[in-house]
Every structure is written in C-alpha cells, then in structure tokens.
Chain A
C-alpha cells in the first residue's frame, strides 16, 4: 500500500467509531453465554486448548500468571456488598463478607469479547491487532512485536502473552499430544500476544463452503469449539446480522443493542430481562452478551 493510494482512498481506509461506521454488511459474529445454564465444568476451556493449539504451561508458570487459556471460568462467591459505613482504611477483605456458599459459586466464562471499539486495537504500535469486516478483533501473530500494550489496555484481561517458546517446553504438549495440533492455525512463537479468535479457522471454513455453494452463511453452519463442547448449551454463536440466527434472536429478545453503551431497558425500573454485557459503560461495545443467572433469592 503506497502512500499515494492511502491518501487517495482515505475514506475507505479510515475506520470511524463503530456508531458512525458503516454497518456490518453480511456478517457480524457474536455470542451469547447463558450463565443460568453454565455449570462451570471447564469443558469449553479444554476444547479451546485442543482446537487452538494452546500450550499447557504447568503449575509453576501458572502461578506466575503465564497461563494461556483463551477461555477461562471465573468463579464468584456471592455479591460484594459495600457497607454504608465503608472505611477506606480498613482491610478490604472485611468488606467482602457476603459469601453465599449454600448457593454455590457463580461461574462466568471469560473470553475475548471481540469489542467493536476495542481498546487493544488503538494502542498497538505496529497495527498487529485490528478489526475485520466480519466484526472480529484479529491478532496477527507474525506482525506482533510483543509490546504487551494491548494486554495492559484490555479491560477484560483476555490477552495472553507467549513468555516462552512453548513447543520447546517440556510439558506444553507431552507425547503424543503434538499429533493433535490443529494444522489450520499456527503454533505461536515466543514473544507474541494471542487471544480468542472466535475459532477463526472454523468461521473461515464455513464462509468458504457457503460461498462455494453460492449461498449466505446459515445459522448452525459454524460452531465454536467452546460452544460445541458445552454440555448444557450455554453458549450460542452466530451471525448477529442474520435475523434468523439464534444469537440475533436472543439479542433482540433481551433488547441489547450492539452499538449502544447504555441499553434503554436498563433505565426502566421493572426491567426483568437478563441480558447484559460486561463493562458496557467503558464503551468497548463487546460482542458477547451474558444472560444473568436467575438466583434463588430473586425467585
């Protein structure tokens, strides 16, 4: 891309804020995760390891925060109640005392939210992470120089850095596990950032097959590895633009709009809808909607 081409076609290269940006023409990949059906079994995480060539780092590296799980199950024990007479000088642990062990932990599968206005994209010094036309937040491994700025700027902390050359590490893929490595994507090298891609290799294949057959991508053509392995069907994935897609129906039903940072239904007092997006108020416009758990105390 020469400079003159860039200047001549500036309007096509310029990426505006998603609200002003051109709408997604054919495809916008999105996900819904139902926290009411999620049982925290970690099958999604295991499936992701198998599908996306994630190395097993072992106890010691895990303790150093070098884990590589693109999808992780977060556990929450009850809600944190900040007391009225909150004293900033007191031990913070004393404030979080609302353990509801009888109801068990709440689980929340956390993966890259594929934000429409991704905070990671704007800070990459080499443009290794950018937005694709089907609404993914891409990570180009061979472009990445490992500044880790994107990870620092990610509010969800879902970017993982390759601190080691994992194929050379002893326990990353013990024999015969190297034989199960997926040839459709790379084994990342030391010094690059990586993250959930919404199983890019699968969406690519689905789009390619649909194109060969001369039809649009139907709902159900593509399943992500985590969705496929979920025993309770808590995860649904699909094209948000397609009104027939399960994901689009769920978003519509829950009145969650992708391009809004404040949903109208949240303003209403009698809002009973469960759909919400994490850290929506930071305005990254995440592509994953969570369905709130129905709690016993609320029924």
Chain B
C-alpha cells in the first residue's frame, strides 16, 4: 500500500516539476538558424548598399567601387510605413528617380534590368519576405509613430525590431520569428510613451486588436 502511494506521489511530483519547468523555460525566440526562407527576387536588391553604414575607407579613393553603404533612411523608399497600416513596396519610379542621374552604375547588370522594367512600363514583381498570415493585422503606422517619432529611436533600430538587421543584407530575409508569442513578448514590456517623459505603457493585449 505504502509502496503504491510512494510511486503515485513520485509520478505526480515529477509531472508538476516537468510541467512547471516547461512553462517557465520557453524556447529561445531568436536562434542563429531561425531565419526565414531565401526568397528569390526579380532583382537582387542590395539593401546593404543603400541603407548600410558608411565605410570611411571609401572616402580615400572615390574611383574604386564603394564597400560601405549610403545610410539612406528606410522611410525614404518605404514611405508608407509611417502613414498607413501596410508599408507597401516602393514604386519603380522611386528607384528611377535617383538612378537616372547616377551615371557610375548605369551599366551594371542590375541597373540595366531595372531600366528594362522602366522602359517596358512594368512594375517589378517583388516577392513578399515578411508575410504574415491573413488573419493577422499588423499596423506599421502605429509602431513607427511610437518608436521613431515619439521615442526618437533611430529608424534602423525601430524597423529592426521586427525586420532584423536589413542594412547588412542584400536581398532581405526574415530574421525574426514573427510568431504571436514573439509579438506578445514585446507587447508585455513597458515602453516609454515619449522620449521626454518617464511614463510607460505597453502594447495592446486584446486578441481582437491583431486578429481579424
């Protein structure tokens, strides 16, 4: 009888021990290999060249091809991120707007392809990299307004919370898991309301705010 009791108490105890351990140690949210799939784009757009950090070595000899980036603000091309729910894809004329007057790279294969699209009057069929399921509503405007304009965080840092270190990539790749638990892990934290105040608030916790 006692042996029977001992065994069941041991089993129950083990169940709770394992259970509480499992609930408290959630798997790490970002791992080295936890990258999204490699998306093949029509033009291999070099994010690092446009948004990457400036390399001082480039100044020494301007005739050589530059290694560093030009630190262009994300919102220069992704202009709707701060104004609407969806960030959108920059139109082709945004690319041409600059590139028609950049003679030095006009003969490179990627820019040639770019002008082919331009002359054919066709939009570039970019593919989606950060693709959320259809039942999720993510609002770019609210996040950019909060972190960039209210908290005065650097744009690349604020975008990077979800999009990862885009400035070091050529073709963008998903670095963050973009799962619900990952979203909620940040929504639970206290964030400053603005750069000048010490008041904090956290993201919405309602299912209905993000699920549609």
Spell out A's residues near B (CB within 8 Å): 1-5, 130, 132-133, 136, 138, 140-143, 184-186, 197, 200-201, 204, 208, 211-212
Q: Which residues of B sit under 8 angstroms from A197, Cβ to Cβ?
A: 208
> Would B24 and A201 count as touching, CB distance under 8 A?
no
CB distance from A12 to the nearest CB of B (A): 9
6 A-B pairs (CB sep. < 8 Å): A1-B184, A133-B206, A140-B207, A140-B208, A143-B211, A212-B141
Q: Contacting A208 at CB < 8 Å: which of B85, B206, B212?
A: B85
Q: Contacting A143 at CB < 8 Å: which of B20, B141, B207, B212?
A: B207
Bound: A1/B206 CA distance, A: 13
Q: 1/0 contact trace for B197-212 toward A, CB 8 Å?
A: 0000000101111011
> Would A2 and B208 count as touching, CB distance under 8 A?
no
> Would B188 and A140 count as touching, CB distance under 8 A?
no
> Would A138 and B207 count as touching, CB distance under 8 A?
yes
Whether B145 sits at the interface, judged by CB under 8 Å, is yes
> Would A184 and B20 count as touching, CB distance under 8 A?
no
Q: Which residues of B sit under 8 angstroms from A208, Cβ to Cβ?
A: 85, 139, 141-142
B134, B135, B139, B208: which has the most chain A beta carbons within 10 Å?
Answer: B208
Q: Contacting A200 at CB < 8 Å: which of B26, B188, B212?
A: B212
- Closest Cβ neighbor of A127 among chain B residues: B207
Whether B108 sits at the interface, judged by CB under 8 Å, is no
> Would A130 and B212 count as touching, CB distance under 8 A?
no
Whether B23 sits at the interface, judged by CB under 8 Å, is yes
Bound: A102/B184 CA distance, A: 59
> Would A132 and B208 count as touching, CB distance under 8 A?
yes
Q: Which residues of A sit under 8 angstroms from B127, Cβ to Cβ?
A: none
Spell out B's residues near A (CB within 8 Å): 20, 23-24, 26, 85, 133-135, 137, 139, 141-142, 145, 184, 188, 204, 206-209, 211-212
Q: Which residues of A sit under 8 angstroms from B20, Cβ to Cβ?
A: 3
Q: Contacting B211 at CB < 8 Å: which of A3, A136, A141, A184?
A: A141
- Closest Cβ neighbor of B22 among chain A residues: A3
- Closest Cβ neighbor of B133 among chain A residues: A142
Bound: A208/B209 CA distance, A: 11
Bound: A211/B143 CA distance, A: 12
Known A133-B204, A186-B135, A208-B141; further 14 A-B contacts with Cβ < 8 A: A2-B26, A3-B24, A4-B24, A132-B206, A133-B206, A138-B206, A138-B208, A140-B208, A141-B135, A143-B211, A184-B137, A184-B212, A185-B212, A200-B208
> Would B139 and A3 count as touching, CB distance under 8 A?
no
> Would B23 and A130 count as touching, CB distance under 8 A?
no
Q: Contacting B212 at CB < 8 Å: which of A132, A133, A186, A211?
A: A186
> Would A142 and B135 count as touching, CB distance under 8 A?
yes
Q: Which residues of A sit under 8 angstroms from B184, Cβ to Cβ?
A: 1
Bound: A130/B209 CA distance, A: 12
Bound: A4/B24 CA distance, A: 7
Q: Which residues of A sit under 8 angstroms from B137, Cβ to Cβ?
A: 184, 204
Q: Which residues of A sit under 8 angstroms from B141, Cβ to Cβ?
A: 208, 212
CB distance from B31 to the nearest CB of A (A): 19
Q: Contacting B134 at CB < 8 Å: which of A138, A143, A186, A200?
A: A186
- Closest Cβ neighbor of A12 among chain B residues: B205
Q: Which residues of A sit under 8 angstroms from B24, Cβ to Cβ?
A: 2-4
Q: Which residues of A sit under 8 angstroms from B204, Cβ to Cβ?
A: 133
Q: Which residues of A sit under 8 angstroms from B145, Cβ to Cβ?
A: 212
CB distance from A51 to the nearest CB of B (A): 13
**7 tightest Cβ-Cβ pairs between the two chains A and B:** A138-B208, A132-B206, A140-B207, A3-B23, A185-B212, A132-B208, A142-B135
Bound: A109/B211 CA distance, A: 27
Q: Which residues of A sit under 8 angstroms from B212, Cβ to Cβ?
A: 184-186, 200-201
Q: Which residues of A sit under 8 angstroms from B211, Cβ to Cβ?
A: 138, 140-143
Q: Which residues of A sit under 8 angstroms from B206, Cβ to Cβ?
A: 132-133, 138
> Would A211 and B207 count as touching, CB distance under 8 A?
no
> Would B135 and A130 count as touching, CB distance under 8 A?
no
CB distance from B212 to the nearest CB of A (A): 5
Bound: A15/B23 CA distance, A: 23
Q: Which residues of B sit under 8 angstroms from A5, Cβ to Cβ?
A: 188
Bound: A142/B133 CA distance, A: 10
- Closest Cβ neighbor of B82 among chain A residues: A212
Bound: A4/B204 CA distance, A: 20
Q: Which residues of A sit under 8 angstroms from B23, Cβ to Cβ?
A: 2-3
Bound: A212/B149 CA distance, A: 11
Q: Which residues of A sit under 8 angstroms from B133, Cβ to Cβ?
A: 142
